[in-house]
A and B are shown apart, each in its own frame.
Chain A
């Protein structure tokens, strides 16, 4: 039996009167590539924020590596889980190297300086995401793909057991999307890091995910392998638009094609 590293139980969250997460439960296995999908406003980002401790957990339970998350201090949490969030300022005034090295912070004492070992870890993380040649460039001078790779290197530098990413491929071009996804897959395979990712890109997700969680209106709708979740019935119902699901000829995973309204089966 596989061990679960992240066990989310009946998590409930509301902003004012709006329910953001409605008793969501699921568990993620060790070294799994787990992708959360769903329409805008379905609670994906809220879920990421709760899992990563950015929003405090009020209702429900999360078990992390077999221990209740409430028992983790923020720093302890950051040593086990790294987050690449969506809301990143575009004027980070550090160089790539400085940014990546900041990933060591959760492991350092109040006045402790980065040791040679920390610098080595940062070097490896930068080599892993192919940003070594950008080390001295400033973050705000990078292209979207370079920036995302630098931020992922920063996350890897935390040496997490779980890596949580909120739409890391949004605003990247085709080549860079695949590059980021390949990096995650490589990280999972070579280092056994569990990947939890939120994505809007169903086709990309289907190619890489071991399992997918489909959400709508803060609730879990489906959970399973991409071929089970991504059927035209389920997706049309959830996304409320006409679409066709066939097979990706490369990977034999499901592939979604939207249809313009005038051709649509659901046109009203």
Chain B
């Protein structure tokens, strides 16, 4: 008999194909991200630098390797983390509106970051540290509040998360209303997501934190699939639902917090990329997890490129671009898929 699920037999092949395609897209966007900028529009010069044939001491080489490269990598990492976070939360909380920030991580880290900015701490370590502490505190509180007997109380969690975010927004507004000087600009950019302060050591540090998280999530792809059948059926098929939920929640929150504290509250990526990819690829997490990582990365690199090249002077927060392109695109695809 010709089996109707042959696609899943060749799942490895499908994963490879999809990843290859998305990687090409990512590489193209990284290339553009490195090549295009406010200086050195001469493509020939840029190519020479990129392929190591130019003068390594030139200003252009310096800009590309020291400024643009860390920025592009940070954008790719952030896109990967936020898409992956959205994917995991959408499955875990069984809610189509779930995104990485829904449990209050954003509120917590924003309050932390703004306090950091107001205290005049350095952007790279001080503010990032404050943001991270803020998000960890909210995550911990949330887990304490909502751990049930053998599962997590999903609705309670979402509601608590929304409340935490609302409370934090109030604090943020309060802090903003007290601020008038240049720090206000910093705060606003942080809130909307911003890659302009990235540098190489910071990106490397982030990479070290994220790699184990990516591996853990990929290993939990099958339990995530089973969770889609409902917690009881998952438990009946050998999944320790409580343990898996807590691990997923912690790992995801950790990696989102670590990312957010470097680049601010990039909105929308985490909501839309998992949905877009699910529409095209189905719901198997063994395929979706790598696809979200690579696809989300590419998307954010492109958005960042637009954010810093579109305005004739300076740049705009990348969060503006993610939603401005993403929302119409999402609505269009949603309509077409119906």
A→B interface (CB under 8 Å): 49, 52-56, 73-75, 77-79, 81-89, 92-95, 97-99, 101-103, 105-106, 108, 110-111, 113-114, 116, 119-120, 122-123, 132, 135-136, 151, 154, 158, 164
Contact = CB atoms under 8 A, between A and B. Distances in A.
A102 B237 contact: yes
A78 B238 contact: yes
B35 to A, nearest CB: 37
A74 B239 contact: yes
B8 interface: yes
A86 B231 CA distance: 11
Contact of A97 (B8, B226, B228): B8
19 contacts: A52-B235, A55-B149, A82-B237, A83-B232, A83-B233, A84-B233, A89-B228, A97-B5, A98-B282, A101-B8, A102-B237, A106-B237, A106-B238, A110-B219, A114-B9, A122-B5, A136-B4, A151-B233, A164-B236
Interface in B254-310: 278, 282-284
Contact of A78 (B3, B12, B237): B237
A205 B336 CA distance: 47
Contact of A75 (B1, B149, B238): B238
A93 B228 contact: yes
A53 B278 CA distance: 32
A101 B229 CA distance: 12
B229 A92 contact: yes
Nearest to B225: A102
B212 interface: no
A89 B229 contact: yes
Interface in B213-246: 219, 222, 225-226, 228-233, 235-240
Contacts of A84: 233
Given A98-B284, A119-B3, A135-B4, A85 B9 contact: no
A102 B235 contact: no
Interface in B3-43: 3-5, 8-9, 11-12
B278 A93 contact: yes
Contacts of B94: 89
B167 interface: no
Given A88-B230, A89-B94, A93-B282, 11 more contacts: A52-B235, A54-B235, A74-B239, A81-B236, A92-B228, A94-B284, A102-B226, A105-B222, A105-B225, A114-B8, A120-B3
Nearest to B223: A105
B9 A119 contact: yes
Contacts of A106: 237-238
Contacts of A75: 238
Contacts of B283: 93-94, 98
B8 A116 contact: no
A74 B231 CA distance: 14
A114 B150 CA distance: 29
Contacts of A113: 11-12
A111 B219 contact: yes
A166 to B, nearest CB: 9
Contacts of B226: 102, 105
Nearest to A164: B236
Contact of A89 (B8, B222, B230): B230
A59 to B, nearest CB: 15
Contact of B5 (A49, A88, A98): A98
A56 to B, nearest CB: 7
A241 B230 CA distance: 35
Contacts of B231: 87
Nearest to B235: A54
A85 B233 contact: yes
Contact of A54 (B3, B228, B232, B278): B232
A158 B231 CA distance: 17
B237 A158 contact: yes
Contacts of A92: 228-230
B219 A105 contact: no
Nearest to A132: B4
Contacts of A119: 3, 5, 8-9
A92 B278 CA distance: 13
A98 B8 contact: yes
A108 B222 contact: yes
A85 B239 contact: no
Contact of A74 (B3, B9, B233, B235): B235
B287 to A, nearest CB: 11
A123 B3 contact: yes
A21 to B, nearest CB: 15
B97 to A, nearest CB: 14
A85 B8 contact: no
The residue in B225, B237, B240, B278 that gathers the most chain A C-beta atoms within 10 A of its C-beta is: B237
Contacts of A110: 219, 222
Nearest to A103: B237
Nearest to A104: B237
B114 to A, nearest CB: 38
B148 to A, nearest CB: 12
Nearest to A111: B219
B1 A105 contact: no
Contacts of A94: 225, 228, 282-284
Contacts of B236: 52-54, 78, 81-83, 85, 164
